Amino acid sequence: MDELGIGLIGTGFMGRAHALAFRSAGAVFELPVRLHLAALADADAQRGEHCAGAWGFAQAHRDWQDLIADPRVNLVAITTPNHLHFPMAMAALAAGKAVYCEKPLAVSVEQARQMHHAAQAAGVVTRVGYNYQHNPVIAQARDMIGNGELGQLVSFQGEFSEDFMADPDAPWSWRCEPQHAGGALADLGSHLLAMARFLMGPVQAVCADTQTVHLQRPTEAGSQERRAIAVDDQAHALLRFANGARGTLSSSWIKHGYKNHLSFEISGTLGTLAYDQERLNELRLYRVGQKGFQRLLAGPALPGYAAFSPAPGHQLGYNELKTLEVHELIMALCGQGRDGTDFAEAWEVERLAAAIRTAAAEQRWVAL
Amino acid sequence: MDELGIGLIGTGFMGRAHALAFRSAGAVFELPVRLHLAALADADAQRGEHCAGAWGFAQAHRDWQDLIADPRVNLVAITTPNHLHFPMAMAALAAGKAVYCEKPLAVSVEQARQMHHAAQAAGVVTRVGYNYQHNPVIAQARDMIGNGELGQLVSFQGEFSEDFMADPDAPWSWRCEPQHAGGALADLGSHLLAMARFLMGPVQAVCADTQTVHLQRPTEAGSQERRAIAVDDQAHALLRFANGARGTLSSSWIKHGYKNHLSFEISGTLGTLAYDQERLNELRLYRVGQKGFQRLLAGPALPGYAAFSPAPGHQLGYNELKTLEVHELIMALCGQGRDGTDFAEAWEVERLAAAIRTAAAEQRWVAL
Amino acid sequence: MDELGIGLIGTGFMGRAHALAFRSAGAVFELPVRLHLAALADADAQRGEHCAGAWGFAQAHRDWQDLIADPRVNLVAITTPNHLHFPMAMAALAAGKAVYCEKPLAVSVEQARQMHHAAQAAGVVTRVGYNYQHNPVIAQARDMIGNGELGQLVSFQGEFSEDFMADPDAPWSWRCEPQHAGGALADLGSHLLAMARFLMGPVQAVCADTQTVHLQRPTEAGSQERRAIAVDDQAHALLRFANGARGTLSSSWIKHGYKNHLSFEISGTLGTLAYDQERLNELRLYRVGQKGFQRLLAGPALPGYAAFSPAPGHQLGYNELKTLEVHELIMALCGQGRDGTDFAEAWEVERLAAAIRTAAAEQRWVAL
Amino acid sequence: MDELGIGLIGTGFMGRAHALAFRSAGAVFELPVRLHLAALADADAQRGEHCAGAWGFAQAHRDWQDLIADPRVNLVAITTPNHLHFPMAMAALAAGKAVYCEKPLAVSVEQARQMHHAAQAAGVVTRVGYNYQHNPVIAQARDMIGNGELGQLVSFQGEFSEDFMADPDAPWSWRCEPQHAGGALADLGSHLLAMARFLMGPVQAVCADTQTVHLQRPTEAGSQERRAIAVDDQAHALLRFANGARGTLSSSWIKHGYKNHLSFEISGTLGTLAYDQERLNELRLYRVGQKGFQRLLAGPALPGYAAFSPAPGHQLGYNELKTLEVHELIMALCGQGRDGTDFAEAWEVERLAAAIRTAAAEQRWVAL
């Protein structure tokens, strides 16, 4: 394969993030294949044309089915609202195309299970956009854990909090609908669950508590009319990992002051490691024998960083994590991939989130 | 009452901390009564004499019963190992003396209940040494919450972690015995539970998970002989507060890198407040309308601080929190007290800790 | 003008950073003109071809003069070693092309003066790559200052320290040559001087002290042979600004622990503002009436940020500052520019750096 | 000597700080001598009596001369306004008493010189209250420097900023008078100069810039009448140390947001050390081979800390630095002292401050 044809469905924020990543990947990395931005799809034909022009795609389709059928498209990237992931991914898999789907994989565990099985059957490369895992400092964290630098893992404290729904007058949106995978746990917490599994491995049992604090929200910004809300504003959980470690998880979209606070502390018998996505180029590390926590700034010694800058302290941004994700995906498509988050793994994340919801609903421990 | 006679039982680290606080209180504050360091008690007569001399106590008793019986002693301060709190406090209450007991109140809920009832019956002032509550920034936090500055409380994330038992070769001590109120939850977590109740009010239900990571420890430092350990190295819990807030608690004495990490984040509908005992002169505060978290340094506008320094940023130390605790106690003895942590409140803390232990043992939610 | 032809000279780290920025600009921003990556130039023809392919340039020239002469090139971007900026920029100006030159503008004040005058005579748009100024939080800082939110400016403390030359065995390179604008002051300090002028305005007088700590360095990595070093390892200065403010400047490339520590504190009669390039998405701000410093995270309310992400806390990286710089440049080329750092301004930065060198050499205050 | 008689002149904030320190020293430390709080002096007899009672002094003198003459007084502690240090210390020295004088030593270099010579002639122990040096983390810093752990010292960046005069309506006080050692440099900067000498050794040359920003202030709080101000609001300087290191100093009492910001960074060929008095229980340390800065919390391994607490992270307060200072003083009086800041050293600090004033006034480098 000399050239890889990219087809992008969706032109919102995440659509553009994908486009930027595909545009940059070839200049940042030495890729084993040339990328061809073959097509994008948007139901709004005018917007589709405009974005294709601005973002460098060869063609715009109005109908996503046409994009999937397009023979120049080898890889289908899906960045549409959550409830569309299932039909689009299933169609792409049926067409034998590789699929790169935004998170969450689906809006139900059952959908996720079917997608996972369809991907297995199709035998194609799949990836789901848990892009925070591609941060070089997270790769470093995983390597350190894998190398035993923290010893036997003992605890995990994780939190993903933001405050974009903290205002009780923040209006209803599809994110407030369970059938669209709404709520703090699904919207934010799933990133944290994926991260927990990425770094700590499987979870064996959970107990949890979820809560809707603002029971009604305006139907739209400024409206007097209010609509009942059925999804969680915050979720808390206890986690038991298969490796024996224990821990807690918190996820909230109403915690004032936080903007992107995906954070964790992982402790083992030889040290402690801490991370906060609001400072995504840093780790805090303590190892036995040190006098105190070290602040580690990202630098070219870390996996992936050097492709962006030869000097430490020059920092990567959120969008560049997407470029790293695309790179990993392309390497996988060329048979040189590492262990990316594929549909099988994303299904496990959905199972875990579902177990947390069950534990909260039934107020009991749930085994996985 | 012109003069208040102080009797101190115990001359270890906490005994000296009490002595320092009683020595300083009269110079730091304008007290309504003169303090007389009447007596201390130590089973080691020589040490008792030495400490009495160095710390300014008029007399040393070898037998703590003699100290309680001493007519010049109005207030009995108990700083002995945990299992002695019960007999000493019960005797002091029986003698009609005020009691100032180090935390934890007792080594079982039943003991704590009896002490609480005995204090009620005696009608004397009692206090338990949860000195972190007397930190001016904690008083500020409580005032802010009470004034509604955070709005309706929504969440609490609390952690008290240290690493003094992180080394698997840290030897057995009485802190490793359940019957001495040992383990991370009792030793550290109880401070956090007291703090949670102080700031958030009562807890209605808990679910929890506790774990002994290092199942054996040397019988003493350097020994090859090992002894089975029955107490928790770490505890995690979900909390439901009576005010509707939800949250998590973690307590560990094996979390590398932390030395005094009693920390919490309290979030409400109008803001978020955060604290870490490793920087005890600071709060982090975000309120609706701010652009980001503020760092608040302690200063003379806060309750108690001005007695130590007229200037902000000059910082109080751990021992000075004890002086503030002694001040509050003396004011209470003079009928001018605020709501200190008395035996009734300390018993509630013990009940809460016991509920967490039950929840962990039975792997289910426990209501209080 | 429908299309703007970009010609890029140099394919090193900065060349690629330019390429990435030009590739991304059209997808990140709605540009008033289409960008055409017309040509790049590299003396190594094979590397030129390779980069042109990977980065999406239509053609590669071996000879930079051919690139300047190329009629499809409207804008010449210069990313070669410092001593080549002069001949290349002068040639481009002579050809009536717009010029985008990496910092420093030149290797002597005299060169810089000529380049400034040539640009004036040519009447074209010029820009110099002081990309840190395009950081949205820096734009915010400048706006705040301009709006008087800090009151009358009183002080500036600035530092740019890194440690890439801290090892005495870090070898000689062209950065160690005065005639290549080497040394900590020229290499790092010039960024800080540009920033100081950008935020504070002109400097009227300086006094300074420079020092070469490691007087000899290996001729190349690992070599036993050593070469005398004539440039400064660290520079310190006192600054008097035209607006009345006073301050200090430090620049070092041997200060252990720092990787990209361009930092400053600006204080006025109404507040204080602080920044550290090692956390480039944050400001620390104190304004009269606040209780403490606020941490401001970059977000979509800031100039330029929203083009990258609709959500706060998602962070931009170093390379994305370059995209912002390219955007500003293109807007200027389309007649919609703000006050970018052109050759006139870059010449002022060089004059200021030269005054600091004179002050240090003659151990006296020097007026500008 | 079995007993050391303490005489304290002054009952303001610093007087009480001394009293607290003398009261605590014997309980915190095992002292080689018993302390007797023999007498205090206050011109207000009623206040003198009250303080003597509350602070435990045996007697109150109305006349400080009587206190100096009191045969039970061996050590005279001077905590009065700056202009009284000279007559009181000279009288105490003339009487052969040891002297413990608050900083600054005097209100002129000439006075300081005379006091230094008088102390030499008297042959008694003297100490000046630069208490920040007695912070265990500062002792650690000094030890590290002395042990060569930072290598050859290269740079010093020091700042002492507060904001208590930032409000232009903060009224005139004696601190605004040059003849009372007023101004930011004398009031705050002298602490920093003492610290610089304590850690870095002598300064050989300085260049400086001082500025009065608010040229008039109300005669008293709320007054419409304004008075011209002759002292500096901020001072900046370049420093050349005898050991070859170079650096900067800033001192301001109008820098918004800072409350006690005595901070420094010391860099050597093997590492960098940083400190901020607003977090007085911490150091930041980077040494060659580390991945990033470590945060070191004070703990019992540091000189002096263990006397206050057996556990790390329990933090000392400002007043406890005074107890450490008193301890060092008493050990010196018992012939077991280390190198405290005596009159000879305090005179050097005054000389250095005077050189900075001269350098600023004459806008030139001044050698010491």
Each residue's pLDDT tens digit, B232-256: 999 999 999 999 999 999 999 999 9
Each residue's pLDDT tens digit, C253-309? 999 999 999 999 999 999 999 999 999 999 999 999 999 999 999 999 998 999 999
User: What percent of chain B lies above the pLDDT cut of 70?
Assistant: 100
What's the CA gap between C343 and C92, in Å, rounded? 13
Beta-carbon separation of D23 and B24 below 8 A: yes
Q: Residue B339's pLDDT is what?
A: 75
Instruction: Count the neighbouring beta carbons within 10 Å of the beta carbon of residue B179.
Output: 12
What's the CA gap between A44 and A58, in Å, rounded? 17
User: What percent of chain B lies above the pLDDT cut of 90?
Assistant: 97
Residue of chain B minimizing CA distance to D300: B259
Residues 6+ apart with CB under 8 A from A132: A138, A191, A194, A195, A262, A277, A280, A321
| Residue whose pair of structure tokens reads 């992180």 in the numeric block | B166
Q: Residue C60's pLDDT is what?
A: 98
Q: Residue A339's pLDDT is what?
A: 75
Q: Are A293 and A305 in contact (CB under 8 A)?
A: no
| Residue whose pair of structure tokens reads 């800041």 in the numeric block | D341
Beta-carbon separation of C259 and A309 below 8 A: no
What's the CA gap between C310 and C316, in Å, rounded? 12
Model confidence at C48, in pLDDT bands (50, 70, 90)?
Answer: very high
DSSP state, residue C171:
P
What's the CA gap between A214 and B8, in Å, rounded? 52
Question: Taking the model in full, what pTM does it have?
Answer: 0.97
D315 in contact with A, Cβ within 8 Å: no
Model confidence at B1, in pLDDT bands (50, 70, 90)?
Answer: confident
Q: Taking Cα atoms as reference points, which of C119, C134, C75 lies closest to residue C100?
A: C75
Q: Which residues of B touch A293 (CB under 8 A)?
A: 257
Complete edge-to-edge strand list for the sheet that includes strand B34-41: B60-61, B34-41, B3-9, B75-78, B98-101, B126-128
Each residue's pLDDT tens digit, B151-203? 999 999 999 999 999 999 999 999 999 999 899 999 999 999 999 999 999 99
Cα–Cα distances (Å) from A341 to A105, A195, A347, C156, D319, in that order, read: 11, 10, 10, 48, 55
Beta-carbon separation of A311 and C30 below 8 A: no
Buried-state track A200-223, b at ≥16 Cβ within 10 A, e below 16: beebebbbbbbbbbbeebbeeeee
Q: Taking Cα atoms as reference points, which of C207, C202, C136, C257 lies closest to residue C361?
A: C207
Q: Which CATH class is domain D134-316+341-367?
A: alpha beta
Residues 6+ apart with CB under 8 A from A192: A158, A159, A160, A249, A251, A262, A264
Q: Nearest CA to CA, how far is C226 from chain A (Å)?
A: 25
C310 in contact with A, Cβ within 8 Å: yes
pLDDT in tens, chain A (368 residues): 799 999 999 999 999 999 999 999 999 999 999 999 999 999 999 999 999 999 999 999 999 999 999 999 999 999 999 999 999 999 999 999 999 999 999 999 999 999 999 999 999 999 999 999 999 999 999 999 999 999 999 999 999 999 999 999 999 999 999 999 899 999 999 999 999 999 999 999 999 999 999 999 999 999 999 999 999 999 999 999 999 999 999 999 999 999 999 999 999 999 999 999 999 999 999 999 999 999 999 999 998 999 999 999 999 999 999 999 999 999 999 999 777 899 999 999 999 999 999 999 999 999 99
What's the CA gap between A340 and B156, in Å, rounded? 35
- Take residue B195 and report the two structure tokens written for it: 């703090």
Pairing of strands B216-218, B226-228: antiparallel
Residue of chain B minimizing CA distance to C290: B294
A12 in contact with C, Cβ within 8 Å: no
Residue B259 has pLDDT above 80, yes or no: yes
A296 in contact with D, Cβ within 8 Å: yes
Q: Which residues of chain A does CATH 3.30.360.10 include?
A: 134-316+341-367
Give me the residue from A285, A292, A297 closest to D297, CB to CB.
A292
Q: Residue D87's pLDDT is what?
A: 98
Q: Are D195 and D138 in contact (CB under 8 A)?
A: yes
- Take residue B20 and report the two structure tokens written for it: 């320092």
Q: Are B206 and B229 in contact (CB under 8 A)?
A: no
Residue of chain A minimizing CA distance to C35: A54
What's the CA gap between A301 and A314, in Å, rounded? 13
B31 in contact with A, Cβ within 8 Å: no
CATH number given to A3-131: 3.40.50.720
What's the CA gap between B282 and B276, in Å, rounded? 8
Residue C99 has pLDDT above 90, yes or no: yes
Q: Taking Cα atoms as reference points, which of D122, D108, D77 lies closest to residue D326?
A: D77
| Residue whose pair of structure tokens reads 């607006």 in the numeric block | C243
Q: Residue D276's pLDDT is what?
A: 98
Beta-carbon separation of B285 and C294 below 8 A: no
- For chain B, list the contacting chains (3+ Cβ pairs, <8 Å): A, C, D
B323 in contact with D, Cβ within 8 Å: no
Mean pLDDT of D188-200: 97
Q: Residue A183's pLDDT is what?
A: 97
Model confidence at D45, in pLDDT bands (50, 70, 90)?
Answer: very high
A364 in contact with C, Cβ within 8 Å: no
Buried-state track C283-298, b at ≥16 Cβ within 10 A, e below 16: bbbbbbebbbbbbbbb
Cα–Cα distances (Å) from C351 to C128, C131, C207, C366, in that order, read: 15, 20, 14, 11
What's the CA gap between D235 and D360, in Å, rounded? 9
ipTM exceeds 0.90: yes
Beta-carbon separation of D27 and B19 below 8 A: yes
Task: Give the mutation candidate from A152, A236, A273 for the B interface (greatest B CB count, under 10 A).
Answer: A236
- For chain D, list the contacting chains (3+ Cβ pairs, <8 Å): A, B, C
Residue of chain A minimizing CA distance to D296: A292
Q: Which residues of chain D does CATH 3.40.50.720 include?
A: 3-131
Give me the residue from A23, A277, A316 closest to C317, CB to CB.
A316
Beta-carbon separation of C292 and B297 below 8 A: yes
Q: What is the 3-state secondary structure (H, E, C) of chain B?
A: CCEEEEEEECCCHHHHHHHHHHHHHHHHCCCCCEEEEEEEECCCHHHHHHHHHHHCCCCEECCHHHHHHCCCCCEEEECCCHHHHHHHHHHHHHCCCEEEECCCCCCCHHHHHHHHHHHHHHCCCEEECCHHHHCHHHHHHHHHHHCCCCCCEEEEEEEEECCCCCCCCCCCCHHHCHHHCCCHHHHHHHHHHHHHHHHHCCEEEEEEEEECCCCEEECCCCCCCEEECCCCCEEEEEEEECCCCEEEEEEECCCCCCCCEEEEEEEECCEEEEEEHHHCCEEEEEECCCCCCEEEECCCCCCCHHHCCCCCCCCCCHHHHHHHHHHHHHHHHCCCCCCCCCHHHHHHHHHHHHHHHHHHHHCCCEEC
Q: Which residues of D touch B318 (CB under 8 A)?
A: 308-309, 314-316
Residue B337 has pLDDT above 90, yes or no: no
Element (H, E) at C190: helix C190-200
C338 in contact with B, Cβ within 8 Å: no
Q: Nearest CA to CA, how far is B263 from chain C (Å)?
A: 20
What's the CA gap between B19 and D23, in Å, rounded? 11
C285 in contact with B, Cβ within 8 Å: yes
D261 in contact with C, Cβ within 8 Å: no
D200 in contact with C, Cβ within 8 Å: no
Q: Taking Cα atoms as reference points, which of D315, D324, D241 lies closest to residue D279?
A: D315
Q: Residue C201's pLDDT is what?
A: 98
Residue D338 has pLDDT above 90, yes or no: no
Pairing of strands B261-268, B153-161: antiparallel
Within chain A, residue ranges assigned H as helices are: 13-28, 45-55, 64-69, 85-94, 109-122, 136-146, 184, 190-200, 318-333, 343-362
User: Rounded to the nearest 10 degrees, what angle do helices A318-333 and C318-333 cross at?
Assistant: 110
Give me the residue from B234, B238, B268 closest to A236, CB to CB.
B238
What's the CA gap between D77 and D88, in Å, rounded? 10
- Indicate the Cα dihedral angle D68, D69, D73, D77, nearest 10°: 0
- For chain C, list the contacting chains (3+ Cβ pairs, <8 Å): A, B, D
**Phi/psi at D32 (nearest 5 deg)?**
-75, 0
Q: Nearest CA to CA, how far is A331 from chain C (Å)?
A: 16
